[in-house]
């Protein structure tokens, strides 16, 4: 989700709710402790230099039950970060949130809640790294006479 999309959604909300993809809710007394501009300059395993810039929100549960972040306040913090950090509203947003460890999530909106979407690692240079493409299920048949042939009783 792009920052511009969040900015369009916030004015129509009366409250901000986040939940994980599995449905676990972020406590309603969370804080957005920081909004940042994150730039990664890296090289993939194929030798290609890459740059990635995104907006990072960090959510934190402070067990502060007296305060609740309102949509207008978050919109103000976003606008301030755009001015002070040179953030572009067209950039993707990534959310940091701690469960067992600090996780990095993509973001979606389902009409009522912001959803912290699980992210996956991937090879960016599949053609150069030498790892074969995953075999299709039809290619995974058991060799004739193998000990694991169905009915052989070895498994």
- pLDDT tens-digit profile of 20-78? 999 999 988 888 999 999 999 999 988 999 999 999 999 998 777 777 899 999 999 99
**Every domain of the chain and the residues it spans:** 3-124
What is the model's pLDDT at position 2?
Answer: 98
| Closest among 77, 59, 71 to 14, alpha carbons compared | 71
Angle at 115 between CA 110 and CA 118, to 5 degrees: 135
The model's pLDDT over 121-143, given as tens digits with 9 standing for 90+, comes to 888 888 887 777 665 555 555 55
Residue 1 in contact with residue 109, Cβ under 8 Å? yes
Q: How far apart are the first and last CA of the chain?
A: 46
**95 phi and psi angles, rounded to 5 deg:** -115, 130
| pTM score, whole prediction | 0.78
The model's pLDDT over 87-123, given as tens digits with 9 standing for 90+, comes to 999 999 999 998 878 889 999 999 999 999 999 888 8
């Amino acid at each position: 989700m792009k920052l511009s999309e969040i900015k369009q959604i916030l004015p129509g909300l009366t409250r901000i709710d986040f939940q994980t993809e599995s449905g676990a809710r972020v406590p309603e007394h969370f804080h957005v402790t920081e909004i940042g501009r994150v730039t990664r300059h890296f090289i993939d395993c194929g030798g290609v230099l890459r740059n990635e810039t995104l907006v990072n929100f960090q959510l934190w549960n402070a067990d502060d039950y007296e305060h609740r972040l309102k949509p207008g306040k978050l919109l103000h913090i976003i606008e301030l970060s755009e001015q002070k950090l040179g953030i572009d509203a067209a950039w993707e947003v990534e959310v940091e949130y701690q469960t067992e460890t600090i996780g990095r999530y993509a973001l979606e909106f389902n009409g009522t809640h912001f959803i912290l979407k699980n992210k996956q690692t991937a090879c960016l240079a599949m053609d150069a790294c030498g790892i074969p493409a995953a075999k299709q299920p039809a290619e995974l048949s058991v060799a004739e006479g193998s000990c694991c042939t169905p009915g052989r009783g070895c498994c």
